[in-house]
Amino acid sequence: MLLPTSASIVIALLMGIAGVGFVLWQLKRVLAYDQGNDVMREIGAAIQEGASAFLAREYRVIAIFVVIVATVIAVFLQWQTAFCFVSGAIASAGAGYLGMYVAVRANTRTASAASRGLHEGLRVAFGSGAIMGMSVVSFSLIGMTLLYLIFNDDPNHLTYITGFGFGASSIALFARVGGGIYTKAADVGADLVGKVEKGIPEDDPRNPAVIADNVGDNVGDVAGMGADLFESYSGSIIAAATLGAALGKGETVAFIGLPFLVAAVGVISSLFGIYMVIGKERDESVLAGAVSNASLTAKCVYYLSQYVSRIDENASLEDLLTALRRSVWGASVVILGLSLLAVLMSGLHFNYWLVIVVGLVAGNAIAYVTEYFTAYTEKPVLAIAKATQTGAATTIIQGLAVGMMSTALPVLITAFAILISIWLGHKADGTLAAGLYAVALAGVGMLSTLGVTLATDAYGPVADNAGGIAEMSHLPKEVRHRTDALDSLGNTTAATGKGFAIGSAVLTALALIAAYITAAKIDGLDILGPTMLPGLLIGAMMPYLFSALTMMAVGKAAHEIVMEVRRQFHEIPGLMEGTGKPDYAACVGISTESALREMIVPGALAVIVPIVVGHVLGKEALAGLLVGTLLSGFLLAVMMANAGGAWDNAKKYIETGQYGGKGSDAHKAAVVGDTVGDPFKDTSGPSLNILIKLMTIVSLVFAGSFGSGWLNF
């Protein structure tokens, strides 16, 4: 018996609830770890206070935006869409807040665990990242499935649910831009004065910007990244379901249910991948007891333990990367089997399982390519490190070249995935619409293991904070050595996470563009039409304008931080000698005010421009705008994210003792490259993939209101 769509939705809801159960269990487990000594607790409390204060103020600003937009949607469209919009915003904000809540508490616990061993530190940090990953997946599934069930009797229910994606996108953009401005202003300011001018170590307690820097890691790279991928995950399912609605045959619309079902089984696969890192190691006595007692449970626990990664004290960066790769690949293998079962149960063509495989392979391939261009074990980063010997200028030149070079393979992988998906879908059901549905399903497949993929990313800021806490608490050198190893791993996994997020954004945005064209009733697009080319040009310009605004925002805020840090070193007696006490709150305040002030214009542009273009130039021009933004935004985002990650790890490589190590001229040049790359990889670059998707989903929500435009060609 084939599985009805309603059953697929209910299964997805139940798996979302199960994911929340895991989150609560893992949260209790992480918080049970020791927080270390009193100094560590005091530093951790300062970071918690700064992060919570910023996020509370940021959410108050975003709440005003949400209320205004929800009112506009309710008045000019439907109240149901407005309700879904608010629901998406609340769910996204909730997932981001929960991820940050545990991250700012796991940092001291990771530093304490690292004093007992490298694997213990990895287990705590990754465990906190797993909470972020599973929160995003679970909150998204619960939100969308409940809304589907609530509005199921209304024929426009899928139109309403696009509002959920709009709400998630809005939170994601403001969280990414605001958090990115905060974190990089503090980071750049701390590095330029502390490491370059004063020659003191990173995370030195004498640096007045050090707490703001640690706070920024959490609000930008945890809460911001969580909201970002929440929106990608939700958008991919919404796009596939919307396109699937046009392909449904009979009373059971299996095309709608399949993306929800694939996401549901993805929860199981993600939990397996997470277990491979945080599970208990093999214990031969467990097997002996299982055999003697004939205990099936004990046997299962034992055999599962064979897959847990084991890290010894002498593990290299490659060993650590392998451990996390195994968790992602293990989850991918599990999802292959479960998604095949999902396709068969839905009664759809076998080709749709192949499409899911294409998405998974493409996602892992993009992550691998990103890792190659950003890991300091590989040639691109080593070339940047070598260039530091001749100064900051050659360091920046080489880093830009690496970033530009790194765009080629992700573009080819994504293009190939799109072509294969369209071909498979067309072969399955004989229409272009089926091919576009297949592209959307490939995006769902790529994000199906998000629970574990995001965990490998979100753990990085926790490890970074742990290193800072170890430095400020004057823990033994071997502890800082372990946290540095985890931090270097986090830099690489963060870069691969950004590449993964950008690649999935392209597939999701393409599917949303197809859904917009269908919803706007556009019969065909003429590239030589009077409004199409202007739309393409405006769209291609948008990522550059957006990036300029966010880069300048970081520059302005960093300038204020630099001046404040210089002032404190000049005016506070004994600060450089370690007898004076820095005013950490002043730098936290500057970062907070700057981020909240500067995030408004870029965020508003992403919503306003599509609506204005749609009404003034018409719905065809808006389609051109979306295509132009997708193309230029994809390339610019990959270039920025990878160049920034490569500069950062080139600095880390030199800090291992190469080319003179810390304090050398090569290190100073690398720090300059890293400060240029900071807003590239943590503010502008990752915000672009949200810009791409937010503009498409805004267009989809308002599609019915656009006509031929005011110019009437």
Yes or no: say if 435 and 426 are a contact pair by the CB < 8 Å rule: yes
Residue 149 zone, left/alpha/beta (φ > 0; ψ -120 to 50; rest): alpha
Work out the average pLDDT over 278-295: 51
Predicted pLDDT of residue 291: 47
Res 283 pLDDT > 60? no
Say yes or no to pLDDT of 295 above 70: no
Q: Write down the H helix ranges in 246-283.
A: 254-278
The reported pLDDT for the residue numbered 309 is 55
What integer pLDDT is reported at residue 317 of this predicted model?
A: 61
670 vs 314, higher pLDDT: 670
245 within 8 A of 255, measured Cβ to Cβ: yes
Neighbours of 600 (CB within 10 A): 14
Q: pLDDT of 64-98, one tens digit each?
A: 889 999 999 998 888 999 999 999 999 988 888 88
Rounded percentage of the chain residues whose pLDDT exceeds 70: 92
Q: Which of 379-383, 489-493, 603-607 is the most confident on average?
A: 379-383
Q: Which two tokens stand for residue 299?
A: 């046997």
Provide the token pair at 423: 């071909």
Between 420 and 296, residue with greater pLDDT: 420
Q: What is the pLDDT of residues 33-52, one digit of tens each?
A: 888 888 888 888 888 888 78
Distance CA 97, CA 645 (A): 25
Give Cα 629 distance to the centre of its chain: 20
Instruction: Tell me what pLDDT residue 433 has.
Output: 81
Which of these ranges, 198-202, 243-247, 573-577, has the smallest mean pLDDT? Answer: 198-202
